[in-house]
Amino acid sequence: MIETFTYEALPIRVRFGRGAVAEVGAEVARLGARRALVLTTPQQAGEGERIGKLIGENCAGVFPGATMHTPVEVTDKALDALKAADADCVVALGGGSTTGLGKALALRTGVPQLVIPTTYAGSEMTPILGETQEGRKTTIRSLDVLPEAVIYDVDLTLTLPAGLSATSGVNAIAHAVEALYARDRNPVISLMAEDGIRTLSSALPILIHEPANIEARTMALYGAWLCGCCLGAVGMALHHKLCHTLGGTFNLPHAETHTIVLPHAVAYNAPAAPEAMAAITRALGAPDAAQGLFDLVRALGVPRALSDIGMPADGIETAADLAVENPYWNPRPVTRDGIRDLIARAYSGERPVAAVPAEEAA
């Protein structure tokens, strides 16, 4: 039975296909911009220069300083570069770090954004910005940060390393997973979520062994788009809150943090979201949602423990305190003891468990 729901489509233009980046100049012109500043990470500066040449005379230069978790001090430097170049548009090339920087600049100046993803982060499809200041990551949701246009070019993902393909892809899966049990979920997004999980979970194991497989790359990028749409359309819950807390507090790599935490967050919420768990198991072809996700991560050969990506052991208690500091919606009540146990298991890389804490069972 379909219950009453609300669905609101976001105003964003998408171009998808091999070689689509050749149209970047036309897309910049379509935004009405005359000077576009290209944003990249330091590692992708050379690719940013290539994009600048494709834009042609409307390119205002390249700012190659984007970094993970969108620290405000980096945004301030980019804002200075934007003003110095007299730019009236940004073209963000890369993953979540670059997309986040573009959103931060749009929030402060109102410049339109064109995003060219080279990973499966999905943030290009969302009106969500997470920024970090003094070790704390805060998140806002506003149409002011929603990119106006996105170019998905499969060819740009062919050089994405296998490990980063895996963690970036599981990060995208996390968006779809939480969309399935979101408070404002709806049938349209749930369909996209299940298909996104199915598509990515099928493509990622192939990419680990065949990183240049065009069909698998195409399916992975398509799945990432589906999952990004889910993230942009409905609210998130425990998993995203926890990953933002861990990443911002301990400066952990974003995609890897999502990859490690996801099976444990799903196990925590499983007793309160049976319909979502059924959809996840269908998409994965596994008998259990949390165990299926853990086995997927294991098969991909990427880190499964927070201790392996730089989190200190004494950070477990700190993270548990921060995770319950500000109340937020979740299908299952968020308790400190329950979250502390979740983080501890993710820290050590143990298999997830769905046992109900004593305080809830009483």
Say how many CA atoms lie within 13 Å of 360 toward its Cβ. Answer: 16
CATH of region 171-361, choose from 1.20.1090.10, 1.10.357.10, 3.40.640.10, 1.10.260.40: 1.20.1090.10
Question: What tokens does 222 get?
Answer: 């398509």
- Supply the pLDDT for residue 27: 97
What pLDDT digit, counting tens, does each position of 213-243 carry?
999 999 999 999 999 999 999 999 999 999 9
What pLDDT digit, counting tens, does each position of 254-301 carry?
899 999 999 999 999 999 999 999 999 999 999 999 999 999 999 999
Q: Which CATH number is 13-157 given?
A: 3.40.50.1970
On the question of pLDDT at 358 being above 50, the answer is no
**Burial degree of 28 (CB within 10 A; 0-12, 13-18, 19+):** buried
Our CA dihedral for 337, 340, 346, 348, rounded to 10 degrees, sits at -100
On the question of pLDDT at 359 being above 60, the answer is no
Q: Residue 229 and residue 165: Cα distance in Å, rounded?
A: 19
User: β-strand 13-16 against 136-141: which pairing, if any?
Assistant: unpaired
Q: Where in the chain is the domain with CATH 1.20.1090.10?
A: 171-361
Per-residue pLDDT band at 356 (split at 50, 70, 90): low
3-state class (DSSP) for residue 222: helix
Which string of DSSP letters, residue by residue, matches 41-75?
-GGGHHHHHHHHHHHGGGEEEEE----TT-BHHHH
Residue with tokens 């290539």: 50
**What predicted TM-score, i.e. pTM, was given to this entire model?**
0.91
Q: Where in the chain is the domain with CATH 3.40.50.1970?
A: 13-157
Q: Nearest-CA neighbor of 106 among 67, 147, 64, 150?
A: 147
Mean pLDDT of the chain, nearest integer = 94
Per-residue pLDDT band at 1 (split at 50, 70, 90): low
- How much is the average pLDDT of 133-151? 91
Q: What are the E-state strand segments in the chain?
A: 13-16, 36-39, 59-63, 89-94, 113-117, 128-133, 136-141, 149-152
Do residues 170 and 297 lie in contact, with contact meaning Cβ atoms separated by under 8 Å?
yes
Question: In Å, how far are 133, 177, 234 from 239, measured between CA atoms?
Answer: 21, 9, 14
- Supply the pLDDT for residue 23: 96
- Supply the pLDDT for residue 136: 81
- Supply the pLDDT for residue 355: 58
- Supply the pLDDT for residue 4: 83
What pLDDT digit, counting tens, does each position of 81-120 carry?
999 999 999 999 999 999 999 999 999 999 999 999 999 9
Do residues 337 and 353 lie in contact, with contact meaning Cβ atoms separated by under 8 Å?
no
**Phi and psi for 146 in degrees, rounded to 5?**
-75, 125
On the question of pLDDT at 362 being above 70, the answer is no
